[in-house]
Amino acid sequence: MLTSDKTSPLFFGLSHIGQVFSTLWAYKIGNCATYDPIKINRINYAKKRFTQEEPNLKKIITKNKIINYNKIKEIKKHDIIFFTYDTPINLNNNVPNLKFIEGNLKKLLSINFKFKTKIIILSQVYPGFCEYIIKKYLKTKKIELIYMVDTLKMGDAINKFLNPEQLIFGCAKENKKFILSLFSKFKCKKYIFSIKEAELIKISLNLYLFFSINYSNILDRFSRSLKIDFSKILECLRNDKRIGKHAYIHPSLGMSGGHLERDGHYLKKLNKDKESINIINNLIKFNNSRKTIIEKILNQKIKKKKIKILIMGLSYKKESFSIRNSIFNNIINKKKYLIEVFDSFFNLKKTKLKISKNLNYSLRNNDAVIYNYSNEKEVKILKNFFKNNNKKYLINISQNNKEFIRNNSQVINIFARENTHISR
């Protein structure tokens, strides 16, 4: 059994980021330990009941390099602690629950550590949050806070952890040797800023994506007014080096997951400039309007008091499960729509929605299908069904199968297939 000591880091908090960091730290670097004040989180982690947002995490082999503590006093043995709680988000208004983060930091900072201890915070917070925590709770020089910018991507967190583009820290410059030693197996560029600067970098990265998504959707709406499919021109935009191949420039039904919206909230909260606050408010309002597209199509096409709908693929993407701030909330939360869900990739038992047990039966028994994603077998079933059926509607919102069946009035493809260059 692993004997923990102060040379191995401890990961405090076992939500998404804590599960990813601790498991992959053991896989890539070596021994570590975990603790979570919430008992069910400790039990689920020990049994490898990981978040559905990272379905491949349970396949990682750590070879008994992780010790899981059940008592908070046991973490005194460590002098390096990663605070790895994702900041919870209120599902109704996307306001981050920083009281949860503050409360758990308070618990951690109240411990009488045996050694001079560095606590590395990875939670998503606003610029100035760590300064507030230091002033309010840090009463000893035995503890030093460091802020690390989390750049994990939901559904691709394993790759992002193992092969980061860069590592960014907020701390005193004197920590350079400590940072280079602790992260020596990561060969990417490493940066040290002040804590507040590092916090700003984190929300700046997300806000760039926030604006990119809204940029795409604004142009998509404009293009539709010209009877043009914006999706078709995306490759030409990405070929421009000022935009780039990895840009978030595909139209969508709005942001989901809550992470980008959270940083939009921070920008509104801290910003003193009324004009830029108005811009953010209008973008949030515009983003929310994108989520009404499905409902408008349903009401236009199906004239019934109650509309039965099958959703194929409930998450915002097939690589990662999350229904936080879902694009389907508009229809799920209204009594007019009777919802059934089918998902090839994720376990939906906790959703409280009616779950389809037989796809063919569900296709026959619903007025409309909203297709988001599935495996290839189900794609064939769906195509065959709609080639021979003119009484049902298929609303295709997929980013992977953008043009399911063309020239069929019962099939509404929300997004067009991108045009590629003629040399292919």
Cα–Cα distance between 230 and 220 in angstroms, integer?
5
In a domain, 319, yes or no: yes
Number of separate domains in the chain: 3
- Is there a single domain that holds both residue 296 and residue 424? yes
| 221-230, 312-321, 352-361, 372-381: the lowest-pLDDT one | 312-321
| 13-22, 248-257, 389-398: the lowest-pLDDT one | 248-257
| 3-class DSSP state of 267 | helix
- Report residue 280's pLDDT band, with 50, 70 and 90 as the boundaries: confident
Instruction: Name the residue range of residue 54's domain.
Output: 10-193
Cα–Cα distance between 140 and 137 in angstroms, integer?
9
**pLDDT above 60 (res 62):** yes
Cα–Cα distance between 203 and 221 in angstroms, integer?
27
**pLDDT at residue 6 in the model:** 55
Q: Are 208 and 276 in contact (CB under 8 A)?
A: no
**pLDDT above 90 (res 118):** yes
**pLDDT at residue 4 in the model:** 41
Span 99-111, average pLDDT: 95
**pLDDT above 80 (res 324):** no
Proportion of the chain above pLDDT 90, given as a percent: 67
- Is there a single domain that holds both residue 69 and residue 162? yes
* Tokens 């209204």 found at: 334
- Is there a single domain that holds both residue 275 and residue 171? no
Q: Is 411 exposed, middle or buried (0-12, 13-18, 19+ CB in 10 A)?
A: buried
Tens of pLDDT, residues 196-211:
999 999 999 988 988 9
Q: What is the mean pLDDT of the chain?
A: 90
**pLDDT at residue 67 in the model:** 95
Span 121-150, average pLDDT: 95
- Is there a single domain that holds both residue 206 and residue 273? yes
Number of H helices, E strands in the chain: 14, 14
Q: Which amino acid is at 228?
A: I
CATH of residue 400's domain is 3.40.50.720
Which DSSP helix (H) or strand (E) runs through 380?
helix 376-387
pTM: 0.84
In this predicted model, which residue has the larger pLDDT, 67 or 284?
67
**pLDDT at residue 3 in the model:** 43
Which residue among 161, 193, 225 closes a domain? Answer: 193
- Is there a single domain that holds both residue 268 and residue 181? no
**pLDDT above 90 (res 92):** no
Which residue among 155, 178, 193 closes a domain? Answer: 193
| Token pair listed for 13 | 């908090």
In sequence order, the 6+-apart residues with CB closer than 8 A to the CB of 387 are: 405, 408
Span 161-170, average pLDDT: 96
SS3 content of the chain, % helix, strand, coil (to 5): 40, 15, 45
Query: For residue 142, what is the DSSP state?
Result: T
319 bridge partner residues: none
Which residue among 178, 193, 208 closes a domain? Answer: 193
In a domain, 34, yes or no: yes
Cα–Cα distance between 1 and 33 in angstroms, integer?
12
In a domain, 343, yes or no: yes
- Is there a single domain that holds both residue 41 and residue 156? yes
Tens of pLDDT, residues 238-248:
999 999 988 88
- Is there a single domain that holds both residue 285 and residue 296? no
**pLDDT at residue 116 in the model:** 93
